[in-house]
Amino acid sequence: MRANPFPMKNLLKNIPENLPTELFETLIKTDKVHIERIVSRGHNSPAEGWYEQDLTEWVLVLKGAARLGFADRPEVSMQAGDCLEIPARLKHKVLWTDPQQETVWLAVHYPQ
């Protein structure tokens, strides 16, 4: 069997045992798109303030579970397989991620 000629990565592997902070790993970054893997284990956003990004963000939970809060919309619970688009400038934050296992996100940031 020949070696794969394309670089390959498994987004559910090579996760550090110790995660004192969320892990952000850029997978692809161009002038038009930024794709990253985010790994959380019981992490959440600071109580004060919101994320309010200039780019639209599409997120997919590959493993684990999370809850997102929004300044002017209801909370959203996410499990493995769930995805959503967060429009640019929409105030949001991570309220909770599962402390018993990794929550692995795929995040795609792009202009609207």
pLDDT digits (tens, 9 = 90+) for 73-112: 999 999 999 999 999 999 999 999 999 999 999 999 999 8
Task: Decide if 8 is inside a domain.
Answer: no
Task: Decide if 55 is inside a domain.
Answer: yes
Task: Decide if 10 is inside a domain.
Answer: no
* Residues in CB range of 89: below 8 A, 6 or more apart: 52, 53, 54
Cα separation, 96 vs 89, in Å, equals 21
Token output for 16: 């550090």
CATH number for position 94: 2.60.120.10
pLDDT of residue 6: 84
Task: Decide if 15 is inside a domain.
Answer: no
The whole domain housing 90 covers 23-110
> Angle 8-11-13 (CA atoms, 0-180°, nearest 5)?
95
pLDDT of residue 2: 75
Task: Decide if 13 is inside a domain.
Answer: no
What is the pTM (predicted TM-score) of this model? Answer: 0.91
Q: How many domains does the chain have?
A: 1
CB count in 10 Å sphere of residue 75: 10
Task: Decide if 18 is inside a domain.
Answer: no
Cα separation, 53 vs 13, in Å, equals 28
Q: Is the pLDDT of residue 4 over 90?
A: no
